[in-house]
Structure 1
Amino acid sequence: MATQLKNLSDFSNTEIPSAAPYRFGIVVAEWNAEITNALYQGAYQSLVNNGALAENIFSYQVPGSFELTSGADLLLQKGNLDAVICLGCVIQGETRHFDFICDAVAHGVSNVSVKYSKPVIFGVLTTDNQQQAIDRAGGKHGNKGDEAAITAIKMAALAETLNS
């Protein structure tokens, strides 16, 4: 496995713009709360560490990963945001429910982004088991929340550059 010994949240090889001028929404699924709370902490801290002002970060919870799309849509309808980060965790079970949820969320997040011409970031873990989720929510493979925040900053900066 390519990620076996790799911290996926290493940004030492890339330049990260300041997050100071931007406003961010974070939508967090309550389902698998142990994991999604860790993702949220990573995302929030990465935004702040890269210059985002606490008063420019708007965080909301939704029941599960399926509702992330609707949450992002509602935020972009009502808020003057530069990017929205969607954080969730879907762990493979015994039924095909996993496939339907993951597919719907991935397409939904992408569609909301296109609808509003704003970055909507897919920070959803889609893992085979709980341990894989732990490893990617602050464990040995880093924190997907960090990655989602850095992606949001970079995409907000890109949008600003292209719109000016």
Structure 2
Amino acid sequence: MRIALVVARFYEDLAERLEAGARAVLAESGITDLETFDVPGAYELPMAAKLAAESGRYAAVVCLGAVIRGETSHYDYVCGEAARGIQTVQLETGVPCSFGVLTVDTLHQALARSGGDKRDSGRHAAEAVLALLAVKQRLATAG
């Protein structure tokens, strides 16, 4: 099984932490055939996810990144469009896509949610894709 990781690199240190968490879960599940696609920011995740999903080369796409609230409404647009876009990709293609994008107010919150003391959103995004793949497989073999 081959899985695509689409990673928004705007916050490089957070992206690395999220990717490490996702890779760890997938490796624990025996999945090592991974390909990473880097994009500048979260806004670009849906398009990269769509390209990966439509290629037919991947069973699933894990989308990772971070958006930290600033002083303008830019945050709201980026978060909303990234979430909507990734959801649309999976619904239109049938290829499971997970939303491992941190949407936080501060860098401290982002660090806590990327393998810090709160949770590891990279791990959770990989776990979500695995759960969707299990449902898909179960329904495909149900008879």
* TMscore range, shorter length: over 0.9
Q: 2:12 aligns with which of 33, 51, 54?
A: 33
How many angstroms apart in 2 are the aligned matches of 1:161 and 1:58? Answer: 25
How many angstroms apart in 2 are the aligned matches of 1:69 and 1:147? Answer: 18
Q: CA RMSD in A?
A: 0.9
Q: 1:65 aligns with which of 42, 50, 57?
A: 42
Q: Which residues of 2 match residues 55-94 of structure 1 at below 5 A?
A: 56-94=33-71
Shift in Å at residue 78 of structure 1?
1.6
Shift in Å at residue 123 of structure 1?
0.4
Partner deviation per Cα, 1:110-142 (whole Å, 9 max, x = no partner): 000011012110000000000000000110012
What is the aligned partner in structure 1 of residue 98 from structure 2? 121
The TM-score, its normalising length taken from structure 2, stands at 0.95
Alignment pair present for 1:105 and 2:82: yes
Shift in Å at residue 144 of structure 1?
0.3
Q: 1:144 aligns with which of 121, 128, 141?
A: 121
Name the % identity.
Answer: 35
Gaps of 5+ in 2: none
SS in 2 for 1:75: helix
Shift in Å at residue 51 of structure 1?
1.3
How many angstroms apart in 1 are the aligned matches of 2:114 and 2:93? Answer: 28
How many angstroms apart in 1 are the aligned matches of 2:6 and 2:20? Answer: 12
Shift in Å at residue 155 of structure 1?
0.7
Partner deviation per Cα, 1:78-114 (whole Å, 9 max, x = no partner): 2321110000100000000000000000100000001
| Structure 2 counterpart of 1:129, one-letter code | T
The TM-score, its normalising length taken from structure 1, stands at 0.83
How many angstroms apart in 2 are the aligned matches of 1:97 and 1:114? Answer: 26
| Structure 1 counterpart of 2:48, one-letter code | G
Runs (4+) of structure 1 exceeding 4 A deviation are none
